[in-house]
Structure 1
Amino acid sequence: MFYKIYKEHYKALIYLGLPIVIGQIGVIVLGFADTLMIGHHSTIELGAASFVNNVFNLVIIFSTGFSYGLTPIVGGLYGTHQFAPAGQALRCSLLANLLIAVLLTICMCVLYFNLENLGQPEELIPLIRPYYLVLLASLIFVMLFNGFKQFTDGITDTQTAMWILLGGNVLNIIGNYILIYGKLGFPELGLLGAGISTLFSRIMMVVIFVLVFLRSRRFLRYKIGFYRLGWSRTIFGRLNGLGWPIALQMGMETASFSLSAIMIGWLGTIALASHQVMLAISQFTFMMYYGMGAAVAVRVSNFKGQNDMLNVRRSAYAGFHVMMVLGFVLSLIVFLCRNHLGNWFTDSPEVAAMVTSLIFPFLVYQFGDGLQITFANALRGISDVKPMMFIAFVAYFLISLPVGYFCGFMMNWGIVGVWMAFPFGLTSAGFMLWLRFRQKTRTLAANSSYL
């Protein structure tokens, strides 16, 4: 009976989520390739990459969160067959994303001029600066890509973004190999080469997405709204009303990792390099969860547009079931490979040993990560996003970061202590998001029945 209730939801979520997951596997492979190539080029470059990537992960996740505001809007319009307004929403989203990219670029420029004040090892600063600037130049292209991706996801076309992501990541890996090591007559640029390759691949992904949207017949009914309906202050207001809370929620979650990287930098280059390796491994699970979570948001928003609260709830819980199965399988793979992971990424025995010590806290937080991603996306699907900001603030700033500092430095557990904070933050966030979703959907269902 239980399986029959959720069977159709499992199928639909896997159908929607699998292309997103496959696209994220490409991102995972790229992260692995980046870390492998840089790590084998030099440990000091791996440490510099760790710092810069953590800082930019915060910005990129924040900006991605803002772009998520488009998904419930387009998903609701698609669920009620309003195709031209969905195209209009894409146009408004691209403008909003562009403005956010400019704002974030200014903020990151301010940080650039204060890098020496963040307590990082002095030998890393000459490597950090050029890599930082190249990634900063790519930020605007990340935001434009996100606008197109959230649109196609919202209309249940998750395969287009998948293929573009995979192609871009293959291009990036090839560029890494050529520019990091100086192949095919190019100079050996090391870490800077990895940054240039990332910039080029992000530009090309946006170019391809624009060409696909403009030339493909399947987007014709959306292009009518994109070209003819003009700007909408209402849609633009909704994008900001949804996007900012989601961005702040995701930004605070990522900040707990990025600020932890700054604390880990106080422990030295070896600890920072180990943190970078472990983050590459953690992306292996997070990006999988992300794919299924995006499918949950799309399904929930479609049913919300139809005012079908029963299937809103069932879609979310079916997503959580799939997420837990996925989490168990992925955690088992990481556990079985625990004694070899560090050696894949670096030639340093100190870094490899430290990576192995971080496997336990990594495994512990998988349940909480799957829980919070599922119900954060479910809340996005029903456009109930403002409470997520306060939940994130409590979970990541009042729980996770203080626990990390206490365990890492006051208890003298070092990097393992800092990582032990993540299970506390992610699990507490997951439970609070689940409670909010349960309460909100019950209220919506009661109001719907009353009406």
Structure 2
Amino acid sequence: MKKNAKNITLFALTWPIFIEILLHMLMGNADTLMLSQYSDESVAAVGVSNQILSLIIVMFGFVATGTAILVAQNLGAERKQAAGEISLISLLANLLFGILLSLSIWIFNEDLLLLMDLPKNLLTEASSYLNIVGGFAFIQALIMTAGAIIRSYGYTKDAMYITIGMNILNVIGNYLFIFGPFGVPVLGVEGVAYSTTISRLLGFVVLVIVLFKRVPDALPFKGLFKIPMKHLKDLLKIGIPSAGEHLSYNGSQMVITYFIAILGTEALTTKVYAQNLMMFIFLFSVAISQGTQILIGHMVGAQKIEEAYQRCIKSLKIAIFISVLMAILFSFLSTPLMKIFTSNQEIINLGCILIYLTIILEPGRSFNLVVINALRATGDVKFPVYMGILSMWGVSVTLSYLLGIHFGLGLIGIWISFIADEWLRGIIMLHRWKSRVWIRKTFIKNEDPIHLN
């Protein structure tokens, strides 16, 4: 391996990840922004469809998460063959799982949307989008896995460049199908779905080509049938609990979206616009957390426990500082930013209040993003799931209904519930890290690439 924990810095890992996540977000925002010129109703339809797709993507993430951690730890321990075997089996596992979920979405897409209590006038567009993007969701499963492999080997720039290409293709496709230049048929939501799917397919093809070029032994197809089943078991031991935390979060968000749907289409649209802007605030923390996870994985593999401990604390401080700074900046610019999406003054006013509340929300989110990823990197994956389920459902969902619906505070009450959830979980996760309980889960024996309790 050309790169290891000694010559990879947090900044070198993080800035390409930051650009990549930014571009992924821009991909979604390009859909929203360009559709907002077409119809506010279309924005709401795609927003609800994407809520369902987010839940599906989390299901794919359990293999990708396990892959990133196991590959990083084995590379840190100089076990390159095991890292390659894990990479290959994870791609095949997520392909099969992705096809299964894609078929499920294609068959049950309208039933899923009706479960969200989607307004009838939005059903046709939402179903069309979910049918196309969801039907080919297995492509996203492969992208997530291949991307996790490339980043764990330290080639974060390559993943970034591929995402740039995917974004360019997506925006061009959106423009063609929404605005219909050169006689191209105007397909609206359906066209956006085609554009998203095609750009993802091409992106995955390039990812695989780059992976073979950078790390020729990363996918040992010749030894496919000799790969120990233990690798798959280890993937599941890490991945399933990790996905459980994300699954709980997205499941709770679906329930909360159902509450917002009760408030009406305008509330749904406001949520979509506000959260699109908020993503640009916390993407710094996401990038830092992913870079930190890779570093800690390598450090744990090399049994540099104290370095791993300090790395998490330093990364957390950086993430909190940047997230607060960005939240304040976006609050000052909230009105012109909301006007980019809509001219509806009620949506603008409410959206601005939600962005103001992010000044309190985002530091709490930083705790969860950085510390939970650090815990995962060590193999301590179950505790965040247990705490996440308790807080997300006991605090976020419960308070969303009480404040937002029962007491009539609407989206403001729901945002307050988000704040309470993020801060409670964040403080608990930091205490877990400082307790150093995770140390006993990180020891790697000579014969065993990773030990998991």
TM over 0.5, shorter chain: yes
Over 3 Å counting, the alpha-carbon distance change for 1:41 and 1:81 in structure 2 is same
Note the alpha carbon deviations across 1:235-288, whole angstroms, 9 max, x for none: 011111111111110121223333222211111111111111012112212333
> What 5-or-longer segments of structure 2 have no aligned partner?
445-453
Cα distance, 1:107 vs. partner?
4.6
**8 Å Cα contact 2:88/2:218 also seen in 1:** no
Does residue 222 (structure 1) correspond to residue 213 (structure 2)? The answer is no
Compute the displacement of 1:159 (Å): 1.1
% of aligned pairs identical?
Answer: 23
Q: Does 1:278 align with 2:274?
A: yes
Secondary structure in 1 aligned to 2:218? helix
Distance 2:93 2:387 in 1: 25
- Cα deviation, 1:413-446, whole Å, max 9, x if unaligned, reads 1121122211111111212222222224475399
Contact 1:10-1:322 within 8 A present in 2 as well: no
Distance in 1 between residues matched to 2:361 and 2:6, nearest whole Å: 26
- 1:302 is matched with 298
The answer as to 2:30 corresponding to 1:30 is no
Alignment partner for residue 95 of structure 2, among 89, 94, 98? 98
Gaps of 5+ in 1: 1-7
- Are 1:371 and 2:367 an aligned pair? yes
Paired residue for 2:426, among 425, 430, 434? 430
> Alpha carbons of 1:129 and 1:349: their partners in 2 closer, same or farther (altered >3 Å)?
same
Distance 2:137 2:293 in 1: 25
Report the residue type matching 1:258 in the other structure.
M
What secondary structure sits across from 2:184 in the alignment? Answer: coil
CA gap of 1:328–1:278, structure 2 versus 1, over 3 A, is same
1:418 is aligned to 2:414: yes
Alpha-carbon distance in 1 for matches of 2:301, 2:77: 6
**SS where residue 182 of structure 2 aligns?**
coil
Q: Structure 2: how far apart are the matches of 1:92 and 1:445? A: 23
Q: 1:49, CA displacement in angstroms?
A: 1.4
AA partner of residue 58 (structure 2): I
Provide the residue aligned with 1:3 in structure 2.
none
TM-score (norm 2): 0.91
Distance 2:223 2:256 in 1: 47
TM-superposed deviation, 1:389: 1.4
Q: Which residue does the alignment assign to 1:119?
A: 117
Normalised to the residue count of structure 1, the TM-score between the two structures is: 0.92
* In 2, Cα distance between equivalents of 1:235 and 1:288: 32
Within 5 A, what are the aligned runs for 1:8-19? 12-19=9-16
RMSD: 2.2
Distance 2:340 2:31 in 1: 12
When the two structures are aligned, how many residues end up with a matched partner?
Answer: 438
Alpha-carbon deviations, 1:373-401, whole Å to 9, x = none? Answer: 00111011101111221111011011110
Q: Residues 36 and 345 of structure 1 are in contact (CA less than 8 Å); yes or no, is this contact kept in structure 2?
A: yes
**CA deviation vs aligned residue, 1:322-348 (integer Å, no higher than 9, x gap):** 211221232122112112222111232
Distance 1:226 1:86, change over 3 A: farther
Distance 1:350 1:368 in 2: 28
Native 8 Å contact 1:36 1:346 kept in 2: no
* Larger RCO of the pair (alpha carbons < 8 Å, separation 6+): 1
Distance apart, 1:12 and its partner CA:
1.4
In structure 2, give the amino acid aligned to 1:361. L
Q: Work out whether residues 138 and 199 of structure 1, in 8 Å CA contact, stay in contact via their aligned partners in 2.
A: yes
Q: Is the 8 A contact 1:101 1:140 kept in 2?
A: yes
Alpha-carbon displacement from aligned partner over 1:48-78 (angstroms, at most 9, x marks no partner): 1121112212222342244111111111111
Amino acid at match of 1:19: P
Post-superposition Cα deviations, 1:275-311, rounded to whole Å, max 9, x if no partner, equal: 1101211221233322111111111111111111101
Residue aligning to 1:64: 61
Q: How does 1:129-144 map to 2 (within 5 A)?
A: 129-144=127-142
1:397 aligns with 393
Q: Which string of whole-angstrom CA distances, capped at 9 and with x for unpartnered residues, describes residues 219-246 of structure 1?
A: 12434x4533643201011111111111
Residue identity opposite 2:325 in structure 1: V
Q: Is the 8 A contact 2:103 2:135 kept in 1?
A: no
Bigger drift between 117-126 and 262-271 goes to 117-126
CA distance in structure 2 between the aligned counterparts of 1:446 and 1:19, rounded to whole angstroms: 27
What are the superposed Cα offsets for residues 168-226 of structure 1, whole Å, 9 maximum, x if unpaired? 01111111111112223211111111111101111111111112223x1x312434x45
**Which of 191, 200, 211 is residue 189 of structure 2 equivalent to?**
191
Residues 1:15 and 1:445: Cα distance change in structure 2 (over 3 Å): same
